[in-house]
Structure 1
Amino acid sequence: MTNALSRRSLIRSLAGVGAAAGVGALALGLTGCDPNNLEDVDGAVPPQPSGTAGPRRFGAEWEKHLRTVMSWPASENVWGDQLPDVRRDVAGLAQAISAREPVVLMARPEQVEAVRKACGSAVEVVPIAVDDLWARDTLPVFVEEGGKVKGVDFNFNGWGGKQQRGNDAKVARTVLAKYGVERIETRLVAEGGSFETDGQGTLLVTESSVVNDNRNPGMSRDQVEAELKKVLGVTKVIWLAGVKGKDITDAHVDCLTRFAAPGVVLLDQAFPGSPADVWSRSADQARSVLKDATDATGRKLQVVELQQPDPDRITGRGDAFVSSYMNFYIGSKGVYLPKFGDARADDRAQQVLKQYFPGREIVPVKIDAIAAGGGGIHCATHDIPALG
């Protein structure tokens, strides 16, 4: 049995991974469901409400959505002896979210019955072949246009060809076909975790994860920006440097900074006294950009730093352990964030999110196995938005 491969360590360990191996991924998603606007999972998205056809728009995470979509970790070749713990974390997260809104969990057909037993009847399990749990990156990025939900297929290529993606590369098309959602084509290669929006035309993105020859060879930042504006309908792109080559995602934005409201961004901050590294320097660079940035409306951004927990007090371990609170997920009735075991830091993060999402329950979830694999709650979830 192989050792578990994390998003940060996998980049150094990909040679020799067989084509049949299940493979990992990284991932972003959110907002609320309308229980009066749902249909059976095998049906299409219900007809959208009539109204004035508007321009293309990438909605914010706190807006309405039909359901949360997740993915079941499929293979021991990825997780090794950590697979049972990772599956327990995924099941626990799915159960927590499904207590407040519908959850659909994709699983390989031969694993469906076992997944149903693990997750319970509140979670709807559908047979869609997947490789790993990172639904944020493999599903399309949903936008609205002309009174309809559409999905941008960003041509998932295993985070720049770093690993096999035989099943996950097909997930976007499969989900769009299943729910009858129009597919928007683009030449760009990217993942859902690459993007963060306020729903008002502003996009946050790390240059390292998109302007990168392992995804978009030969394309300049200006060319990438023009295509992002076209396919997502955003009007202002705020570029953060990120970090190339140190984790499998090339530093997605959803572990670094998130919108908490229009004009307000939360920013990851290392625990005081921690030695400087590429990640803390990335946060410093992001802070220098964000403090002077304005959004698509011309509003100056307010930056709220959210400190990581004390590494000596957290319950999870591992060189790739992600202890950022940024990787939270916003649902219709709950905001789901990691519970790391440092009681003071956990409570502080919960209070900050409560301030910005007062109408939602703040739900801490223990995800030590997922975090040890280099990911988080946002990486493991994706929303299908609703209109009206």
Structure 2
Amino acid sequence: MSPALSRRTLMRRLAGVGALTLGLTACDPTGIEDGATLPPPQPGGTPGVRRFGAEWEKHLRTVMSWPASENIWGEQLPDVRRDVAGLAQAISAREPVVLMARPEQQDAARKACGSAVEVVPIAVDDLWARDTLPVFVEEGGTVKGVDFNFNGWGGKQQRGNDAKVARTVLAKYGVERVETRLVAEGGSFETDGEGTLMVTESSVVNDNRNPGMTRDQIEAELKRLLGVTKVIWLAGVRGKDITDAHVDCLTRFAAPGVVLLDQAFPGTPPDVWSRSADQARAVFKDAVDAAGRKLQVVELQQPDPDKITGRGDAFVSSYMNFYIGTKGVYLPKFGDARADDRAQQILKQYFPGREIVPVKIDAIAAGGGGIHCATHDIPALG
């Protein structure tokens, strides 16, 4: 069996598209059950004013994806599927969850996840729903989806099915597709819901996604697409992981004006990731958000690498890749009891009305991702 294709290293082979591709015509032409569209337009929306809501706002549902092939994960596939199922079960206890799965894998996915998770036939390649689905915005009392033209994280992997997921989901849910020439992934963006966007330059201002475009040009297009008015640019890291350092493993909003920042475990030798966090800290020192507020920075320390239960060169031990659900906040449980508890207490402080739900995701983390990477929220209106 081949090793897992990692999102944290580039030392893996490309997955062969021929072995993975299942034409979308193999899916049920309607896919999602009748009546499962988004709600009708709501009164009160301002025509022409677009808004990218914060993740802590109410969700209609969470969408996830069933990892499809041993060609991607090798002998780790059963463990990864177990992690995905466990995460889907945890979230579905508190809000609706839709799981996309290849048609021939629907029954296995449904058996693994349980009846509370709705499994729909959509041909997918892997579990990274955050990146393959559109970015949802609100405009004029309706939800729209910005299709950022997923291209396998800058062409590093060939993902024939995942490249079609955004269009397929928008069509099945009856959501208007917003087109753009920009190439990016959902994990590239973090917003406070009040007009502020955080982005790493390494993942967007990059010729493997947007050749020939300057940062200013990209910023202007992001403002048009997402309705944001302030973009805070962080340097990130180029070429050291498959995402080129998405912002959602580095820093997250906990509230307007408050950012959580990844911090290496004390004594860990400096590397490109800790230097990236240092650079972000320096940017935050002088930055203001769209409302003119100075940013409060709260550091969220990684667990002791000698105490975590997961292993692997690609293992992501950042707590930053958590997911904010309507009634719960889901964060990784790494096995360092003291660090796990500290992370939970910090999130509890900022999300007091939500249950803090630690989830063990060692197999997902070993593949270079986390809980946020594996989930994508569709916002509710009103």
How high is the TM-score relative to the length of structure 2? 0.95
**2:299 pairs with one of 296, 305, 311:** 305
- 1:49 paired with 2:42, answer yes
Show the counterpart of 1:4: 4
What is the CA RMSD across the aligned residues, in angstroms? 1.2
Instruction: Give the secondary-structure state (helix, strand or coil) at the position aligned to 1:203.
Output: strand
Q: Distance in 2 between matches of 1:158 and 1:325?
A: 24
Match of 2:80, SS state, is helix
Q: Partner residue of 1:243? A: 237
How far did residue 234 of structure 1 move? 0.4
After TM superposition, give the deviation of residue 45 of structure 1 in Å.
1.1
The aligned counterpart of 2:24 is none
Residue type at the aligned position of 2:16: G
Match of 2:287 in 1: 293
| Structure 1 stretches of at least 4 aligned residues deviating more than 6 Å after TM superposition | none
Q: In structure 1, what residue type is equivalent to 2:234?
A: L
State the AA in 1 paired with 2:320.
M
The match for 2:25 is: none
Give 1:20 shift.
2.4
TM-score, reference length from structure 1: 0.94
Provide the rounded CA distance (Å) in 2 between the counterparts of 1:7 and 1:338: 17
5+ unaligned residues in a row in structure 2: which ranges?
A: 22-31
1:144 aligns with 2:138: yes
Distance (Å, rounded) in 2 between the aligned partners of 1:2 and 1:288: 41
The 1-side partners of 2:101 and 2:33 are apart by: 17
Q: What do residues 275-305 of structure 1 show as CA deviations (whole Å, max 9, x unaligned)?
A: 0000000000000001211000100000000
User: In the alignment, which residue of structure 1 is the partner of 2:221?
Assistant: 227
For 1:158 and 1:47, the matched residues in 2 are separated by 33
- Equivalent-residue separation in structure 1 for 2:180 and 2:136 (angstroms): 13
d(CA) in 1 for partners of 2:57, 2:223:
20
- 8 Å CA contact retained: 2:8, 2:316: no
Matches within 5 A, 1:208-223: 208-223=202-217
How many residues in Structure 1 have an aligned counterpart in Structure 2? 371
Q: Which residue is equivalent to 2:18? A: 20
Structure 1 residue 22 displacement after superposition: 4.0
Q: Is the 8 A contact 1:188 1:224 kept in 2?
A: yes
Change (3 A) 1:286 1:262: same
Q: Residue in 2 aligned with 1:135?
A: 129
User: Partners of 1:41 and 1:72 in 2: how far apart?
Assistant: 22
Residues in 1 aligned to 2:355 and 2:20: alpha-carbon distance in whole angstroms: 35
CA contact (8 A) 1:21 1:78 kept: no
| 2:131–2:187 Cα contact (<8 Å) kept | yes
Distance 1:128 1:52 in 2: 31
Q: Distance in 2 between matches of 1:264 and 1:236?
A: 15
Match of 2:29 in 1: none
Work out the CA distance in 2 between the residues paired with 1:21 and 1:202: 41
**Counterparts of 1:22 and 1:191, CA distance in 2:** 21
Q: 1:41 to 1:81 in 2, by over 3 A?
A: farther
1:116 aligns with one of 110, 113, 120: 110
The whole-number CA distance in structure 2 between the counterparts of 1:301 and 1:3 is: 41
* Whole-angstrom CA distance in 2 between matches of 1:175 and 1:148: 16
Whichever residue aligns with residue 267 of structure 2, its letter is G
Q: Tell me which residue corresponds to 1:346.
A: 340
Structure 1 gaps, min length 5: 24-38
For 2:270, the equivalent position in structure 1 comes to 276
Q: Distance in 2 between matches of 1:201 and 1:105?
A: 30
1:82 counterpart = 2:76: yes
Does structure 2 conserve the Cα–Cα contact (< 8 Å) formed by 1:42 and 1:179? Answer: no
Q: Structure 2: how far apart are the matches of 1:211 and 1:223?
A: 10
